Amino acid sequence: MLALLLEVSGTPKPGNVDREREYEDLRFEHFLAGAVGALDGFELACTGAPVGQAFERAVAGMSHQRGGNTQFGAILLVTPLVAAAARGDCTPEGAQQVVAETTVDDAVYFYRAFDHVDVSVDDPPDGMETLDVRRGSEAESAIRERGLMLADVMERSADGDSIAAEWVTGFPRTFESAQALELSDGAITHRTSALFLALLAREVDTFVVTQHDTATALEVRDRARAVLEGEEDPYELAEELVQRDINPGTTADLVAGALFVALEDGLEV
């Protein structure tokens, strides 16, 4: 929970809600409430419960605020890390083991999470409409007929979703980013903002691609690079992206995952 709270408190995070910037219908307080609401699911993951069940419980709790989907992607990234940490192995290998152990039931729980909040996702390929995640629990029979495990679901999405890609490749960006946080100095909120900008400048944000298009995501990446090179003001960029409703949410999710790992490694607040 602390990782989610620290993530939303960092500023500036161009395009994202933070403690200084909000959207009209999505506010800082919604993210605080969402983080607290997710705690039951994270605690369930700590007990050794199936990771899909823990994820669905966390999303259900997160949804109990008026902003809607505040941290779906962050919860998806953090839940297997919580499960690995509960086993005493919050490492890439430990997280990979959690993913490898997922079952068809986990996939069903994952789909059920979409019953709680609206999530922006791409349309499924032709012929795969029965597995559209937006069907939520209605897709259960199709999942069971195909014997899809949650790891399989993530692999199907990995090409266009950076969080799914983390699941199937051993969480490399998450752990690398955690190390960057641990090696940096200053207030955690400032280090969080710096990490957000560094990640945004490195790769296109897949949520921006889904929300808008690839050209917009490339523009955001390039302008984040300009911020790092001192050619653009981060606060001005933050204000502009909010006005244009451009939300690099996947980058924020990666920061939340990195914060969790860093905290597990002993990062002090």
Q: Domain residues of the chain, as ranges?
A: 2-264
From 68, 42, 65, select the one nearest 53 (Cα to Cα): 42
- Kindly state the tokens that stand for 248: 């690099």
Task: For 234-259, write each residue's pLDDT tens digit.
Answer: 999 999 999 999 999 999 999 999 99
pLDDT > 90? residue 44: yes
Which CATH fold would you assign to the domain 2-264? Answer: Triphosphoribosyl-dephospho-CoA protein (1.10.4200)
Task: For 63-74, write each residue's pLDDT tens digit.
Answer: 999 999 999 999
Q: What is the DSSP letter of 26?
A: B
Q: What is the reported pLDDT for 127? A: 82
Task: List the beta bridge partners of residue 90.
Answer: none
- Kindly state the tokens that stand for 162: 């950076």
Confidence of residue 115 (pLDDT cuts 50, 70, 90): very high
Q: What is the reported pLDDT for 246? A: 97
H helix or E strand, kind and range, residue 139? none
Length of the chain: 269
Please state whether 118 falls in left (phi above 0), alpha (psi between -120 and 50) or beta: beta
- Kindly state the tokens that stand for 2: 């602390």
Confidence of residue 125 (pLDDT cuts 50, 70, 90): confident
Q: What is the reported pLDDT for 162? A: 97
